[in-house]
Structure 1
Amino acid sequence: MARYLDVHPANPQPRTIGQVVAMLRDDALVAYPTDSGYAFGAAMDSHTAADRIRRIRHLDAKHHFTLVCADFAQLGQFVHLDNAAFRAIKAATPGPYTFILPATKEVPRRLAHERKRTVGVRIPDNVVAQTLVRELGEPLLSSTLLLPDHPEPLTEGWAIKEELDHVIDAVLDGGEVVAEPTTVVDWSEGYPEVVRVGAGDPDRF
């Protein structure tokens, strides 16, 4: 059964965050809140999480995972940014955007696009998510918590616990969140291309 941990959405309790971080470091797969709904999260060096997420969501091997970062300084360690991308992305974060960029050598090969060596990165405007990633000390390997038999993402922790009790290790409940997907901007070719319009204003790109 998945552990259920309730956390204050604006002032997350350090002890609770610490418990989740300890589980992540022990190869756990967790559900946690972001500014665009709940997401699956795992440590980047987990060798089981990606396959577990693919099985739960019925995804193929080509699925792009996202590295969720605490801040811009952390994001810059894992992707290559030219000056134009640096300025535009810094101005848009934190917020409901995912950026596809060339990965640095810090990104495990199995997490980057097989041919392009790109990876998705984002900085959510959510206190719980930022606190969790900051305490972990590295980005979270992440994927939207959208289930194959649900037309909409689940927006409440208790419902996620009920639905996924036997296939994930913990639910970090930070209250109900709006489940609107991020706007995805592909900057891998040196210029911005909006490939999915979501919560973030695409006109700024």
Structure 2
Amino acid sequence: MAPIRPRVRACGRWALLLELDTADEVAATAAALRDAALPDVVELVPAARTVLVAVRPGGDLAAVRSAVSTVDPSSSGQTAGTLHTIPVVYDGEDLEFVASTAGVSVDEVVALHTGAEYTVDFCGFAPGFGYLSGLPEPLRQPRLESSRPAVPAGSVGLADVYSCVYPRRSPGGWRLLGRTDLVMFDATADPPARLSPGDRVRFEAR
């Protein structure tokens, strides 16, 4: 398998933006950088198709370029983050709609959703909102055509290839499967977000 070669762009004096083609390439590149443990790197921010790498002022950007010059595509599985088990009550208002669209029963939706292990590819949209890859193929569906003005905190949803847990009440257009009582973001905690990129998630029906 050919190595991954990110497109590297300068981002200010002390950061590089690595552009990639797929979520798997992002995961592999971020994992390679974590494994490299470069001493000057102070922040690593994966997103949908990019990884931002910031070093301390005066830090060695050449070492970052070297570390990502040829990334092993299989490296995404080398660094396993914390495994979180999230209990879910599957009573979401889109649960039957998702089942109908997927051509399966509600029980099969729950079985598929709880049977997978997810990876936190990146966080965005709101503090503590993780984009969880690993959604089984039958459940992959687009966002709702119109976003809801308010989705309750703890709502568990899906859209496209991702699942999610809303960390706080906010607008949202993901299809809702259920809810959890776990607090996903607490500004007074250390760290404030329960999920971090590279972590793994399993959902458990309650």
Query: What interval of TM-score do these two structures reach, taking the shorter chain for normalisation?
Result: under 0.3
Task: Name the structure where strand makes up a greater proportion of residues.
Answer: 2
**Structure richer in helix, relative to its length:** 1
- TM norm structure 1: 0.22
- The alignment's TM-score, normalised by the length of structure 2, stands at 0.22
Larger Rg: 2
Which protein, 1 or 2, shows the higher relative CO under an 8 Å CA cutoff with sep ≥ 6?
Answer: 1
